[in-house]
Amino acid sequence: MTPHEPTPERPGLSAAARAVVAALAVLALAWCAWASLRDGASRMISDYAVRARVPAAAYSAAQLTPEDPEAHYALAGLLADTGDAAGAARSYDRAVALRPRDYVIRLELGKVKDEAGDSEGALEEFRAGARLAPYYAQPRWQLGNALLRAGRRGEAVEELRRAAESDPGLYPNFVQTLWYAGGRDPQSLALEARPRTPDETLTVVRFLIKAGAAGDGVRVLRQSAAAPSEEARRALLSDLLNAGDYADAYDIWSGGRGTGRGAVADGGFEAEARTDDEGFGWRFARDAAALSLSLDAESPRQGARSLRVEFAGNSDPSAAPVSQLVVVEPGARYRLSFSARTKELITGGPPFLQVNSAARGEALASSPAFAPGTSGWRDYSVEFTAPAGAEAVRLSLRRQACASSPCPAFGSVWLDAFELKRL
């Protein structure tokens, strides 16, 4: 071809063909727009149906977009809430067919079948959910509970345990489920729960204590050799005290290093006292009106310090400014000795020392009232018998009731040299 030869024309679409292509493009765009509008409308209707709890609206959304699993899922949930298990199962089945790898839909379908009494169908769906999400807790938790209801306890426990391993937050529920499934047998629970961490061990122990099996709970703790945190130790101590298991509570409180039954802890007030001690040391009243407590190094009865109680106005005579729990042998006879002195003590309700049963609160013995005015150290002793079945007594400083109310007190009282002996 020379430079002067004309370029041949390329064959192109005829005008009619171009018109057809343009029309098809317009139709495609229109269809896409309609599909988008339809899908959006369906989702909007489904959202409204769920929020307003209107199954009819959800049914319309499912008809509008029959290939949308979300529409069938929303409809199924509303039908299940209204008690239409059969209708819910059909809608969930349709959602599963459209989205077969969605474990959440499988779980919901399993729940509906379980409620309808189709235990085998429910197990099939829960197993499918567990296969689709093997590391998720909920599929195995649902499967385990379904197996338990079906009477297949061994399989159920394994699935529930695997769920708790995936989600440690389920472990307390796992323990509770084991308790009721095992006929409330403490030994069976301790064997099947298999706590792996100190927190899990504490969960089992605290559950057993609250269930009335404190001894079994403490045994689990000792066998595990777990070292609870300070916060956990306090919680465990509180549980044991509330359960009335004072002997084990004392072991937890003292860390196994206490003086044992029948001994007052820090009878000479040489250690730092704590106002919030819920255990077996001296417990000072907090935020008590018109009185204060302090450790005083001036003229103690023995050792380096004594306890000073300063009265400065109206206070409740029945409230104990200072007290201590002491573990005792049930039915044993004891003598409590201590020393007290006063300074400028003025009150119509003089203070005294009382011994009460820790469990039932009844008074077992009381000292004479302390002398008013100012007096030097005076030695006191009281004898009492620990009630049968009582593991602890409470020593408390109290005041006698006044003839009239209010009942103010002014001045100071010192306490020291507490000692408890078994007779």
Confidence of residue 350 (pLDDT cuts 50, 70, 90): very high
Number of neighbouring beta carbons within 10 Å of residue 47? 15
φ, ψ for residue 351, nearest 5 deg = -75, 160
Instruction: Tell me the per-residue pLDDT of 80-130, one tens digit each, with 9 for 90 and over.
Output: 888 888 888 888 888 888 889 999 999 999 999 998 889 999 999 999 999
Number of neighbouring beta carbons within 10 Å of residue 23? 10
**So what's the pLDDT on residue 49?**
55
What letters, b where the CB count within 10 A reaches 16 and e where it falls short, cover 83-104? ebbebbbbbbbbbbebbeebbb
Confidence of residue 45 (pLDDT cuts 50, 70, 90): low
Q: In this model, does residue 40 exceed pLDDT 60?
A: no
In whole angstroms, what is the distance from residue 281 CA to residue 295 CA?
14
Looking at the DSSP bridge assignments, the partners of residue 414 are 308, 341
In whole angstroms, what is the distance from residue 225 CA to residue 221 CA?
6
**So what's the pLDDT on residue 59?**
64
Q: What angle do CA 152, 158, 163 make, to 5 degrees?
A: 120
Q: What amino acid occupies position 21?
A: V
The highest-level CATH class for domain 283-422 is mainly beta
Q: How far is CA 319 from CA 51, 285, 290, in A?
A: 55, 9, 12
Instruction: Tell me the per-residue pLDDT of 249-280, one tens digit each, with 9 for 90 and over.
Output: 888 888 766 666 788 989 999 987 666 567 88
Q: How far is CA 271 from CA 54, 98, 282, 304, in A?
A: 69, 72, 10, 10
Contact 136, 166 (CB under 8 A): yes
In whole angstroms, what is the distance from residue 213 CA to residue 211 CA?
6
Sequence-distant contacts of 86-93: CB under 8 A, at least 24 apart: 86/116, 88/112, 89/113, 89/116, 91/62
Contacts of 90 (CB under 8 A, 6+ apart): 76
Least confident of 143-152, 213-222, 359-368, 412-421: 213-222
Scan for tokens 């009844």, then name that residue: 362
Q: Is 46 helix (H, G, I), strand (E, B) or coil?
A: helix
Q: In this model, does residue 1 exceed pLDDT 50?
A: no
Instruction: Write down the pTM of the prediction.
Output: 0.71
Q: Regarding predicted confidence, which is higher, 253 or 305? A: 305
